[in-house]
Amino acid sequence: MAVRTQDARRGRTRGRSAAGAVLAGLLLTSACAAPQEPGPGITAPEVGAALDRRAAAVMRHDTGAYLAQLDPRAASFRSAQRTELAALADVPLASWAYEVKNVTGRGAGRVSADVELRYRIKGYDDAPMTSSRTVELVRRGRDGAWYVAGDRARGDARALLWQQGDVQAVRGAHSLVLGVGRRDEELRRIAATADSAVPAVSDAWPAPWKKRVVVLVPESVQDMAALLGSPAASYRGTAAVTTGEVGGSGRRPADRVVVNPEAYGMLGAFGQRVVLTHETTHVATRAGTSAATPVWLSEGFADWAAYRRESRTDQEIAPELAEAVRSGDAPAALPADGDFAFGGDATRLARAYEGAWLACALIARDWSEEDLIAFYGAVGGHAGRDGAVEKALQTVLGTTPEDFTARWREYLRARLG
């Protein structure tokens, strides 16, 4: 996939995802002081201290202490914050902290702070998930105490699940499903499917990974879009999306699989299983995926892992590409990144995913599954996109782009013609 820090991987309603959103070591920490003084009568450390008290109340789920940090005159804000804290009650937090980035004064008694909310889910996150926030604070009372008077997303920060309603948590053997506005039975089925996906992915991708997955199930596709920061129209035919940071820094936020309950619910058991196996593959391979990895390889590998143990014919898995091959309109080249764009031609998109799957299946058949995994790692480990595939084809598979493309085109004709 192209360079991106938040990498969207999506699932399609044709029985699989087209896939395509905390983290170790941080306990509740003090907010970092901003380097500047916002104005007379207040210091940046005071802002941090006020946010530290708020964070501690969140970790204890202490409603009284949480409300005590809020502006006593801001009735509507206090009510909304009480609701939001209650919505968090079932989320197993490992940490919750604020990092102050910048503070600006609006006078001696009111400031605005740009902060990063940093939180981890217990047992799943090795590094904190972050959300950019703008927090307003006011000074009240004779003792001059500071209170939080406002808290809103900053810039293009995405919505948080608990801002959409009460979060219900379902814990599986290898999964944590967090849902809003969905039936308990539905969330338990999703957890069971995710639990079966994890060992299937581990069988296809033997490299070390956490072998656990967090699945978010919002109430609607509109809420899904808010979690992902994109228009709802982008996801109406999308069963699931995986978000996460590519690369192997070791301090990257964990992936989140975000389910579109409307599209996912239209699938049968087979389709749902393939969707979550595909998305879980992206979670497993994230550390080996980089800016050098083309979309055809990341998506094709995820489909290969998802279909690897399924009993479906090639024509059932790749109907659009099969029709193209039979009509003499087989692709001349491997799919480009742009072929995977959502919101465009659905047939073109389907053919891109199907062609990518068959490219990976070709490597597994004519070389080996181990060579496919090594090829994926070699491409992702390259310094940049230029030359990554070419070098890996030569060093791992002993072939050239021209030869591989010719073999892939013949493979399409043999399997789909």
Q: What are phi and psi of 171, to 5 degrees?
A: -100, 120
Question: Positive or negative CA dihedral for 35, 41, 47, 48?
Answer: positive
- The reply to whether 201 and 121 lie within a common domain is no
Residue 255 sits in a domain of what CATH number? Answer: 3.30.2010.30
Range of the domain at 86: 44-157
Q: Would residue 108 count as lying in a domain?
A: yes
- The reply to whether 242 and 199 lie within a common domain is yes
Question: Positive or negative CA dihedral for 377, 379, 380, 382?
Answer: positive
Q: Would residue 31 count as lying in a domain?
A: no
Residue 363 sits in a domain of what CATH number? Answer: 1.10.390
- The reply to whether 312 and 243 lie within a common domain is no
Q: Would residue 112 count as lying in a domain?
A: yes
Task: Decide: helix, strand or coil at residue 158.
Answer: coil
- The reply to whether 270 and 299 lie within a common domain is no
Length of the chain: 417
Q: Would residue 135 count as lying in a domain?
A: yes
- The reply to whether 191 and 260 lie within a common domain is yes
Task: From 247, 269, 288, give the residue that closes a domain.
Answer: 288
Residue pair 196/273 in contact (Cβ under 8 Å)? The answer is yes
Separation CA 218–CA 182 (nearest Å):
8
Question: Which tokens hold the place of 313?
Answer: 């014919």
Task: Decide: helix, strand or coil at residue 98.
Answer: strand
Q: Would residue 39 count as lying in a domain?
A: no
pLDDT tens per residue across span 354-411: 999 999 999 999 999 999 999 999 999 999 999 999 999 999 999 999 999 999 999 9
Q: Would residue 67 count as lying in a domain?
A: yes
Q: What is the DSSP letter of 139?
A: E
Separation CA 406–CA 412 (nearest Å):
10
- The reply to whether 11 and 133 lie within a common domain is no
For the chain, what is the radius of gyration of the CA atoms? 24
Q: Would residue 232 count as lying in a domain?
A: yes
Q: What is the pairing mode between strands 238-243 and 256-259?
A: antiparallel
Q: How far is CA 29 from CA 52, 286, 340, 400, in A?
A: 8, 28, 41, 52
Which candidate, 146, 149, 150, 116, places its Cα nearest to that of 133? 116
Q: Would residue 142 count as lying in a domain?
A: yes
Residue 148 sits in a domain of what CATH number? Answer: 3.10.450.50
- The reply to whether 153 and 170 lie within a common domain is no
Which candidate, 232, 291, 312, places its Cα nearest to that of 1? 291
Burial class (CB in 10 A: 0-12, 13-18, 19+), 36: exposed
> What is the count of structural domains for the chain?
3
Low-confidence ranges of the chain (pLDDT < 70): 1-42, 106, 108, 245-253, 343
Q: What is the pairing mode between strands 145-153 and 238-243?
A: unpaired
Determine the residue type at 219: E
- The reply to whether 357 and 390 lie within a common domain is yes
- The reply to whether 282 and 234 lie within a common domain is yes
What pLDDT score does 247 carry? 57
- The reply to whether 258 and 314 lie within a common domain is no
What pLDDT score does 83 carry? 98
What pLDDT score does 213 carry? 96
- The reply to whether 125 and 214 lie within a common domain is no
Separation CA 90–CA 182 (nearest Å):
14
- The reply to whether 255 and 295 lie within a common domain is no
Task: From 157, 173, 195, give the residue that closes a domain.
Answer: 157
Task: From 263, 288, 313, give the residue that closes a domain.
Answer: 288
Determine the residue type at 348: R
What pLDDT score does 378 carry? 98
